[in-house]
A = this chain, B = another copy of it.
Amino acid sequence: MFRPSENAYELDSPTIMPKASGFLWNDKMMIHVNCRGYVVAQFMQPEPAKYSHAPNLEAKTFMQPEQPYYAHHPGRFVYVKDEEKGEIFSAPYEPVRVLPDHYRFYLGKDYISWTVIKNDVQIDMRLRLPKEGALELWRIKVKNLSNKTRKLSVYPYFTVGYMSWMNQSGEYNQTLQAIICSSITPYQKYTDYDKVKHYRDKTFLLAEQEPFAWEVNQETFEGEGGITSPTALEADALSKGDARYETPVSALQYKLTMKPEEEREFRFIFGPANNEEEITHVRQQYFGQKQDNEADGFMDAEQDFARYIAEGKGCLHIKTPDHDFDHFINQWLPRQMYYHGITNRLSTDPQTRNYLQDNMGMSYIKPKIARDAFLTALSQQKENGAMPDGVILHKDAELKYINQVPHTDHCVWLPICLHAYLDETNDYAILNERVPFAGANNDATVLEHMNLAMRWLINDRDERGLNYINQGDWCDPMNMVGYKGKGVSGWLTTASAYAFRIWADICEIVDQQDMATTFRLEAKKSNETINKYLWDGNWYARGITDDNVVFGISKDVEGRIFLNSQGWALLSGAANEEQKNKLLQAVTDQLESPYGVEMLGPPFTAMREDVGRVTQKHPGSAENGAVYNHAAIFYIYALYEVGETDNAYRLLRKMIPGPDIDDVVQRGQLPVFIPNYYRGAYKEIPRTAGRSSHLFNTGTVSWVYRCLIDGLFGVKGVTEGLQIKPQLPTDWDKASIVREFRGATLHIEVIRDNNVGQTEVYLNEERVKDNIIRDIEKETTYHIQVKIP
């Protein structure tokens, strides 16, 4: 049904998981491809824009969780007609929905493809992107598998959709061998014209080989037969129609007479352009330079893209008793982490917390990028230490959407994310870099910036010492706890305590003892405050509202327990042993589901006006009690920190679909990325629990990687070198790890040995002191044996 292969993941049915999908990206675009042929593609100009549209005027907004597909959803399809029998099917499955005799959906790391066979005709569709530019590179192969000559018409059908109410049209351009659809983005204020005129409002489908016929008019193509059985296919040839203020489509016809076993390949380029010259240039660049037997621009671009994606390979390669886990960790996790770090989620103003955490992940792939990002973020810090809600990455960007709402947690992420970077690189020199402030002429060292950020957290507290939440903390939609200026966040107070601890550790390393002492004291005071006001007897409360109501406590019927308050109390050190055991039990009893640990429970079913928008989300969706993976991974990280090894791995494993079929089918997503959530409300709405949001933008992934490094495999950097401290689940008796670290390669074999009482590390068969591999040299390979009890 579905399985990992060497460098891909495969699905054998278009119907069992109709939303199963993969995604490709480059610096300029992202494309989300569904197993049935539906596609959502966005490119930057500078804000996300589309070149293949819905059939109506869509709202421009962020990607929607669990986005439903519909008949006229944008997609890339190939209709195939048997000219002799008149039979029609379409690849990959939509829009005709004839079940093929064979179907396979391949998710490669740098390509997405299908192989579909119906009545001895095989269609292969393969999509890659170029490394640069917003373009889709398509190869479509047709093969006659039968032992007789077949007459076929093959119709690539790429949707263009409702481009604009102001102006939309399309026609075939003979010279360019391209369907070119034109539009003008609607606007009303003349001041917008200067922006709009540079938009790439054209959509083109460029064909390497001249088509027999074409259709650019969607209505004409469909006729009364509709998209499932287009009237235009009844004719010998498409009508070569155009679209004049009509919805355009890119449909081409190739009429083929194919001998037994004959195969033909067609190549296409689909994407946006500002003008015809640009399309001419694309044609020349991709199809124009082919020498005999040499790669042309198209092939070069495919290879460049493969290399680009391969750069996102991480610093860990594992082999464990759980092969599906290995496949995901080795193949897919670094890819997703790289996507976040290299594109910043294709946003021009990423939320500060996302920007920092996504770049925490880049510490494991391209630390230089992480370094630059930390400096960029700090350069937008205010002189009073406050971090902005979003980090502006493009000169034309404005803070939008959620970044216009004030959140109070952004400073917390600075030491936490920097910590991972420093562990990985030992680059303490970054602390001496001078960085400016936002809207000011002066600058300061990173160390000073960090101190200011910590000071800001200390100052933004009420008389009890609890951090104000304003209109939200990490939980964006918790917007009404403190909007009157009094409400506080228990989680944020705990997270601040953890941040102070981490920062104190760093200060100590760079010989800033006074600061270390100061912040360690602040951490201690914070923990005391938390215990004084927020310990509810068996777990920690989430906060206190503007009206001084403590919430997330046992007497609450909904939102009784919040996950974040528990895990971070372990990280901050607030919870003593008794509290730890109680809260672990409470989480297991009240929040754990087969699909992971839920973010809160029970989910809210009605607006709680002193908590806010989070309570209005559908029960079990997103922050209202989903298995919100970002929250879940914080908790798992905390479990590793306190040595809850089995507990941690059990929950970590639930973050990845599978391995058993029922689990994957229920989630509806292949294990090629971690989604931002799986539906929760397992106790209340079991029918839908576990479903993936199918959103692959999530702060989760860098933390999963950090859990592997710092926790599960225990191969974390320290100033002296690499500290080895595996926390394998008790049912694993071994694991092999290849760790790339500060330029060296370490092969680490971990074996469970009943004869040891504690972890023993051997390098060249010599026991290693403190289990820290010291004096690691670049471009050197080390072989390390580890015995664990």
Contact of A219 among B68, B73, B404, B617 (CB under 8 A): B68
Contact with B along A30-68 (1 / 0, CB 8 A): 000000000000000000000000111111110011111
A73 to B64, CA, bound (A): 19
Smallest distance from the beta carbon of A486 to chain B beta carbons, Å? 14
B57 touches A58 (CB 8 A): yes
* Contact of A56 (CB < 8 Å), options: B58, B219, B402: B58
A136-193 CB contacts (< 8 Å) to partner B: 162, 165-169, 184, 187-190, 193
- Taking CB atoms and an 8 Å cut-off, the chain A residues in 180-208 that contact chain B are 184, 187-190, 193, 197
On chain B, the residues within 8 Å of A620 by CB distance are 244-245
| Residue contact B66 to A226, C-beta cutoff 8 Å | no
Query: In the complex, are the beta carbons of A480 and B193 less than 8 A apart?
Result: yes
Q: Which residue of B is nearest A55, CB measured?
A: B70
Across the interface, name the chain B residue whose C-beta is closest to A61: B57
Minimal beta-carbon separation of A428 from chain B (angstroms)? 39
Q: Please determine whether B245 and A402 come into contact, CB atoms closer than 8 angstroms.
A: no
Closest to A616 in B: B184
- Known contacts A54-B56, A193-B480, A404-B189: A71-B68 contact under CB 8 Å: no
* Docked pose: A621 CA to B190 CA in angstroms: 20
In the complex, chain B residues whose CB is within 8 Å of the CB of A687: 244
Pair B618/A64 contact, Cβ less than 8 Å: no
Q: Which of A226-284 contact B (CB under 8 A)?
A: 226-228, 244-247
Minimum CB–CB distance from A202 to chain B (whole Å) comes to 14
Q: In whole angstroms, how far apart are the Cα atoms of A435 and B609 in the complex?
A: 43
A188→B97 contact, CB < 8 A: no
Q: Please provide the chain A residues from 58 to 108 with a CB less than 8 Å away from any CB of chain B in the complex.
A: 58-61, 64-68, 70-73, 97
Q: What CA separation (Å) do A636 and B197 show in the bound complex?
A: 37
Asked if residues B228 and A226 are in contact (CB atoms below 8 Å), the reply is: yes
By a CB distance below 8 angstroms, the chain B residues around A72 are: 70-72
**A397 part of interface (Cβ distance < 8 Å):** no
Q: Name the residue on B nearest A684 (C-beta).
A: B244
Which chain B positions have C-beta within 8 A of A68?
55-56, 162, 218-219, 246-247
Q: Does A607 contact B (CB under 8 A)?
A: yes
Minimum CB–CB distance for A20 against chain B, Å = 15
A612 within 8 A of B: yes
Min Cβ gap A613→B in Å is 7
List residues of chain B with CB within 8 A of the CB of A405: 188-190
Interchain CB contact under 8 A, A618 and B226: no
Cβ-defined contact, A618 with B480, below 8 A: no
- A514 at interface by CB-CB < 8 Å: no
List, in ascending order, chain B residues with CB within 8 A of A65's CB.
165
Among residues of B, the one whose C-beta sits closest to the C-beta of A66 is: B245
User: Which of A64, A480, A618 has the most CB atoms of chain B within a 10 A radius of its CB?
Assistant: A618
Q: Which residue of B lies closest to A689 (CB)?
A: B244
In whole angstroms, what is the CA distance A721 to B190 when docked?
49
A613 contact set on B, CB distance < 8 A: 166, 187-188, 190, 193
- Is A471 interfacial (CB-CB < 8 Å)? yes
Instruction: Choose one: B193, B227, B616; the contact of A167 (CB below 8 Å).
Output: B616
Q: Are the C-beta atoms of B480 and A97 separated by less than 8 Å? A: no
Does residue A15 face the partner (Cβ distance < 8 Å to B)? yes
- Residue from B54, B97, B401, B617 within 8 A of A226 (CB atoms): B97
What 1/0 mask marks residues of chain A from 601 to 621 whose CB sits below 8 Å from any chain B CB?
000000101001100111011
* Given A401-B188, A679-B245, CB of A227 within 8 Å of CB of B71: yes
Closest to A691 in B: B245
Residue-wise interface mask of A (416-433) relative to B, using a CB-CB cutoff of 8 A (1 in contact, 0 not): 000000000000000000
Q: Are A166 and B244 neighbours in the complex by a CB distance under 8 Å? A: no
Q: Report the separation of the CA atoms of residues A162 and B613 in the bound assembly, to the nearest whole angstrom.
A: 20
Partner of A245, one of B224, B483, B621: B621
Closest to A186 in B: B61
Kindly state whether residue A688 has any CB partner on chain B within 8 Å: yes
**Residue from A71, A405, A620, A688 with most neighbouring chain B CB atoms (10 Å):** A71
Instruction: Tell me the minimal C-beta distance from A328 to chain B in angstroms.
Output: 26
User: Which A386-428 residues have a C-beta within 8 angstroms of B?
Assistant: 401-402, 404-405
Shortest A142–chain B CB gap in Å is 25
B64, A616: Cβ atoms closer than 8 Å: no
How far in angstroms is the closest Cβ of chain B from A444? Answer: 33
Which chain B residues border A218 with CB–CB below 8 Å? 68
Rounded to whole angstroms, the CA-CA distance of A520 and B54 in the bound complex is 55
A244–B687 CA distance with the chains assembled, in angstroms:
9
Tell me, in angstroms, the Cα distance from A616 to B618 when the chains sit together: 43
Name the residue on B nearest A403 (C-beta): B188
A11 to chain B, nearest CB (A): 16
Is there an interface contact between B471 and A612, defined as CB atoms closer than 8 Å? no
Q: By the criterion CB–CB under 8 Å, are B471 and A190 in contact?
A: yes
Q: In chain B, what residue has the closest Cβ to A219?
A: B68
State the CA gap A580–B165 with chains docked (Å): 37
Nearest neighbor of A168 in chain B, beta-carbon distance: B618
Q: Which of B55, B169, B190, B612 contacts A612 (CB 8 A)?
A: B190
Contact between A169 and B618 (Cβ–Cβ < 8 Å)? yes
Among the listed B56, B226, B244, B479, which residue makes an inter-chain contact with A688, where contact means beta carbons less than 8 Å apart?
B244
**Other-chain contact of A59, B57, B64, B483, B679 (Cβ < 8 Å):** B57
- A162 cross-chain contacts in B, Cβ below 8 A: 68
Task: Tell whether, in the assembled complex, residue A224 and residue B618 are in contact, meaning their CB atoms are under 8 Å apart.
Answer: no
* A661 adjacent to chain B (CB < 8 Å): no
Q: Is A744 part of the contact surface with B, judged by Cβ < 8 Å? A: no
Task: Give complex CA distance A250, B617 in Å.
Answer: 22
Q: How far is the CB of A1 from chain B (nearest CB, A)?
A: 17
Of all A-B residue pairs in the complex, the 5 with the closest CB atoms, nearest first, are A71-B71, A55-B70, A245-B618, A70-B72, A167-B618
Q: List 17 A-B contacts (CB under 8 A).
A: A15-B224, A55-B70, A58-B59, A65-B165, A68-B218, A68-B246, A70-B71, A70-B72, A97-B226, A167-B618, A188-B613, A190-B480, A190-B483, A228-B228, A244-B620, A244-B687, A245-B620
The interface of chain A, by Cβ under 8 A from chain B, is 15, 54-61, 64-68, 70-73, 97, 162, 165-169, 184, 187-190, 193, 197, 218-219, 224, 226-228, 244-247, 401-402, 404-405, 471, 479-480, 483, 607, 609, 612-613, 616-618, 620-621, 679, 685, 687-688
Instruction: Apart from A188-B613, A189-B404, A245-B618, list 12 A-B contacts with CB within 8 A.
Output: A56-B56, A57-B64, A66-B245, A70-B72, A97-B224, A166-B617, A167-B618, A167-B621, A190-B471, A190-B479, A190-B612, A245-B679
